[in-house]
Amino acid sequence: MSKYTEPAKELLEHIGGKENIAAVTHCATRMRFVLHDPNKANMEKIEAIKLVKGTFTQAGQFQVIIGNEVASFYNEFKKLSGVDETSKDEAKVAAKQNMNWLQRMVAHLADIFTPLIPALVVGGLILGFRNVIGDIKLMEDGTKTIIEVSQFWAGVHSFLWLIGEAVFHFLPVGITWSIARKMGASPILGIVLGITLVSPQLLNAYGVADAKDIPVWDFGFAKIEMIGYQAQVIPAILAGLLLSFLETRLRKIVPNSISMIVVPFFALIPTVLIAHTVLGPIGWTIGSWISNVVYSGLTSGFGWLFAAIFGFAYAPLVITGLHHMTNAIDLQLMSELGGTNLWPMIALSNIAQGSAVLAMIYINRKNEEEKQVSIPAAISCYLGVTEPAMFGINLKYGFPFLAAMLGSLCAAVISVGSDVMANSIGVGGLPGILSIQPQHMAMFAVAMVTAIVVPFILTLTFAKTGMKKFAFKK
């Protein structure tokens, strides 16, 4: 009998038994259940299990935080319960039975952008580094940049743009691939579609405003402008959805004997034509409108109010899963404005949650058992992964979560009030400063200090004033 046997038996019992489990899988730190009847799960008893660090429900899945031992625990649970192994994709499909239409829409959006995040993070770090060595005058008494005095760093600066351009200018390729993969179409057709939106033969999207003559495809009776959609998000999403719709529907009506020829042909060509005549211009207009509204809101006289609301509300958005919608807005801001002033507030919110946990570590410094949860949670939070901190500590006690929200509010107001801009989405914690545009790093550092100090002090204050009696009920 392993040390996981008894906790696994308890979890199986308190979750409603095998018959209540529609699907189960795990991620890096959590067991993820899709339950036939979520009301049968006894959260109080589950959270009383020694190995369990907390529970929460998100995207139709009941999630139990185990920590780094989750893989071993999962294997023992699967053996005891007799439940068949489920892939993450299968679990997500099953989870949709517990979602409303808004949750399903957000889940689809998350599934599209989540596979792209590693590339976006790397791209953001690269752009930030290029800005430091190429734009800031650090050499010869502040008169020259690093690349102006060093041929080696000039070569590095030029070389790194190869990756930066691939990530951001050719972003539509990743989006259309991800949508095709998500919707059950052919990923390779998604890639081809994306390339047709950013092909070098098209006029670069960044050059349209200054172009004297826009090239066209001349069909005699009609002309189509040869405009690219480099870095554009909405046109790529609309085109990817149309391709997936056409391909999946054609597969159902075209005989298998000719499907390999007919389906790709009649799915791809109409999609490319419609993308360049209808969806592209419409998507560009919608994307520009969204980015202008968000940017205007953040830079207007009431920008501080927008920042305060977003900074305060972002953590609760994470609980609901609605925070995934910010990825599309960030990418649109980047394509239109060359950066995003929304993402820095997200990084600050993550830092604030980690700081509240840090205060709880101090408060419960004599509780060795809780340290096993709180210390790893604080570290992961400062590195951008907030769930262990939020669900394992802050929501458990309640008042640290509120302290973190208030600290995030203060830090967001400082960030927006100082016009801080990030190159792109980055690592959503302390390393996030590497994604900030160099001229804004100093003020972002001030905002980071605020996100560390304010939640820490507020958490200690709330604990001493008796507010710790009021915990959030999940």
Strand pairing of 21-26 and 30-35? antiparallel
Helix (H) or strand (E) holding 63: strand 61-65
222 vs 220: CA distance, rounded Å:
6
381 vs 428: CA distance, rounded Å:
9
- Using CB atoms within 10 A of its CB, is residue 168 exposed (0-12), middle (13-18) or buried (19+)? buried
157 vs 130: CA distance, rounded Å:
6
312 vs 458: CA distance, rounded Å:
14
CB-CB neighbours of 466 under 10 Å: 9
Contact 276, 239 (CB under 8 A): no
Which amino acid, 104?
Answer: R
CB-CB neighbours of 88 under 10 Å: 13
b/e 359-387 (16+ beta carbons within 10 angstroms → b): bbbebbeeeeebeebbebbbbbbbbbbbb
Give me the catalytic one of 2, 3, 13, 27.
27
Dihedral sign from CA coordinates of 90, 92, 96, 98: positive
Order of strands across the sheet that contains 21-26: 21-26, 30-35, 61-65, 54-58
- Please say if 381 is a catalytic residue: no
CB-CB neighbours of 447 under 10 Å: 29
Strand pairing of 30-35 and 61-65? antiparallel
Catalytic residues: 27
